[in-house]
Amino acid sequence: MNGWGNMMGGWGTGYGGYGMMSRMGILMPLIFCIGIILLGIYLLRHRTSQVHTGTMGKQSGMDILRERYARGEIDSGEYQGRKSDLEGK
């Protein structure tokens, strides 16, 4: 009998006798942090892709027509004609 190591069944094996638990204690927070980072990246990319494609605030045809008229891109006659087309009159 050479001391506590033999009596305790190899208790001093480097992981304190809790080999798998010690590894999981290190891996679980690491996996959790990586998951949070990946989720953040996904949400950021998804949101920016919506902004660039214009799908965040969809406008109706009437909204676009009003904006073009307000900017002076079309005149009153063209506005009235397109408005009646969009309204189905």
Q: DSSP state, 88?
A: T
Co-location of 18 and 54 in the same domain: yes
CB atoms within 10 A of CB 33: 10
Each residue's pLDDT tens digit, 18-56: 666 677 778 888 999 999 999 999 998 888 776 665 555
Mean pLDDT of the chain: 77
Give dist(CA 74, CA 69) in Å, integer: 5
Residues above pLDDT 70, as percent of the chain:
66
> What pLDDT was estimated at residue 79?
93
User: 76-87 vs 61-71: helix axis angle to the nearest 10?
Assistant: 180
Q: Which pTM was predicted?
A: 0.37
Residue 45 lies in a domain: yes
Residue 8 lies in a domain: no
Give dist(CA 9, CA 62) in Å, integer: 81
Q: Which carries the bigger pLDDT value, residue 81 or residue 5?
A: 81
Residue 22, domain extent: 13-58
Q: What angle do CA 18, 21, 24 make, to 5 degrees?
A: 145
Total number of domains constituting the chain = 2
> What pLDDT was estimated at residue 45?
87
